[in-house]
Structure 1
Amino acid sequence: MYRKILVPVDLSNADKAERTLKKAEALLDEGGQIVLVNVVEDLPNYLAIDVPMDIIENAIKDAKNRLAVLKEKSDRIGAVEIRSGAPAREILGLAEETNADLIIIASHTPDFTNYFIGATADRVVRHAKCSVLVDR
């Protein structure tokens, strides 16, 4: 099926992350690899002034710990990445860097402007150069 699957995870919803990981394992070729990624969003400039400087650093440390727990649940995870920036841009960039042939992205319950899938999933679907599976 697929040799390299990129799985972006929202660590605020561990159950959905585990479910998405299981789907990736089911679609992975023998000898294939899963790349887990979490993107810590940058703070807008107008908020950065009022927020403690170490908030992003703490978010990255927390992400490392949570991704380590997820990695222990699967022997098919070959790499774990933590990025900071705009989630869709970072996911798409990593997909190209790793030559992923599939991205499995979970979608949250969207608001009115992104009724069918969430904003990040929508951008990834529209701009990815590989196949994308949206997990609702």
Structure 2
Amino acid sequence: MFRKIIVPVDISVLEKGLDILNKAADLLDEGGQIVLLNVVEEVPSYLAIDMPVDVMDNAVHDAGDRLRELMHNAKVDAKIEIRTGPPAREILAAAKSHAADLIIIASHRPDFSNYLLGSTADRVVRHATCSVLVRR
């Protein structure tokens, strides 16, 4: 079905990550690849001045550990990638750089703020050049 699947995971809700990772494994062609992705949002410069220097390094390291744990629990082989920046932009950039043919992303039920700003999943769906599967 799909040769390259991007699975962006919010490490604060790993149960949703487990669900979409298992779905990706079900949809993956033999010989295909899953890219398990986490995007660490950068700290705004006006806040960064009061934070320890290694806070971003620690966040990236923690994200890698959590994704490895998720991969182990799902018993799914995947390439782990950590990016920094705005989540939607980095998910789309990862899909483009890996020539992905599917992005599987978890979404929560929209609330009022989503109608004003749009969620990460909304932005990915609107701007992706490949297929996108949104799991609730």
TM-score (norm 2): 0.91
Is contact 1:9–1:17 with CA below 8 Å preserved after alignment?
yes
Residue 129, structure 1, aligned to residue 129, structure 2: yes
Is contact 1:32–1:76 with CA below 8 Å preserved after alignment?
no
Q: CA deviation at 1:126?
A: 0.6
The CA RMSD over aligned residues, in Å, is: 1.4
Paired residue type of 1:34: I
Residue 41, structure 1, aligned to residue 58, structure 2: no
Q: CA deviation at 1:95?
A: 0.2
Equivalent residue, structure 1, for 2:51: 51
Change (3 A) 1:43 1:100: same
Q: CA deviation at 1:65?
A: 0.7
Q: Which has the higher helix share?
A: 2
User: Deviations along 1:44-72, whole A, 9 cap, x unmatched?
Assistant: 12211222221111111111111111222
Give the paired residue count. Answer: 133
Matches within 5 A, 1:1-136: 1-72=1-72, 73-77=74-78, 79-115=79-115, 119-136=119-136
Paired residue type of 2:83: R
Name the SS of the counterpart of 1:13 in structure 2: helix
Paired residue type of 1:134: V
